[in-house]
């Protein structure tokens, strides 16, 4: 069963452009991770001011493997080598995919 992991980022208004630029320049490592299915960076329009980093994985295990390995590289080390984060907070939402559909002609 696929799982969806959404990292919810609190981003001050003046940091939005910085955040989006960082994602534009992201390492692109997630695409080659085993079990990775989908990524979207979602900019808030209505109902929230938070950015959602949507990721979808074949299984919880695949997500955990990414978290314990390539994720660190995709976040430029996480060892203080990167500049101050554009986001001031984050929290993780987890879901299991129980139903899905796509456009008939897609
Ligand atoms: C500590 C909280 C986190 C913050 C502040 C954060 C923020 C960011 C930022 C700014 C980037 C762009 C690249 C960079 O500047 O390094 C990034 C990349 C990414 N983040 Fe996070 N992130 C966090 C944790 C997570 C978690 C738990 C997930 C899992 C859903 C996630 C999913 C991703 C993905 C898929 C990328 C793209 C990686 C790639 O280049 O392939 N992040 N994140």
For 6-54, write each residue's pLDDT tens digit: 999 999 999 999 999 999 988 788 999 999 999 999 999 999 999 999 9
As a whole number of angstroms, the distance between CA 2 and CA 97 comes to 6
Ligand 1: nearest atom to the Cα of 78? 16
Closest CA relative to residue 18, chosen from 95, 102, 85: 85
Q: What is the pTM of this model?
A: 0.89
Considering only residues 70 and 40, tell me which one the structure prediction assigns the higher pLDDT.
40
Pick among 3.40.350.10, 3.40.50.800, 3.30.70.100, 1.10.8.350: CATH of 3-96: 3.30.70.100
In the chain, what are the domain boundaries?
3-96
Res 78: pLDDT: 47
- 45 and 92 Cβ atoms separated by less than 8 Å: no
Phi, psi of 82 (to 5 degrees): -90, 160
SS3 of residue 19 by DSSP: helix
**Ligand 1 centre from 30 Cα, in Å?**
10
Residue found under tokens 């609190």? 10
Closest CA relative to residue 30, chosen from 57, 6, 3, 10: 57
**Ligand 1 centre from 39 Cα, in Å?**
11
């Amino acid at each position: 069963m696929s799982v969806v992991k959404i990292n919810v980022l609190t981003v001050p208004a003046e940091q939005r452009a910085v955040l989006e630029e960082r994602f534009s320049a992201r390492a692109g490592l997630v695409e080659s991770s085993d079990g990775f299915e989908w990524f979207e960076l979602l900019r808030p329009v209505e109902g929230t001011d938070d950015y959602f980093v949507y990721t979808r994985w074949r299984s919880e295990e695949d997500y955990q493997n990414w978290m314990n390995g390539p994720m660190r590289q995709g976040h430029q080390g996480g060892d203080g080598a990167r500049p101050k984060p554009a986001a001031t907070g984050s929290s993780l939402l987890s879901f299991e995919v129980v139903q899905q559909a796509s456009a008939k002609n897609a």
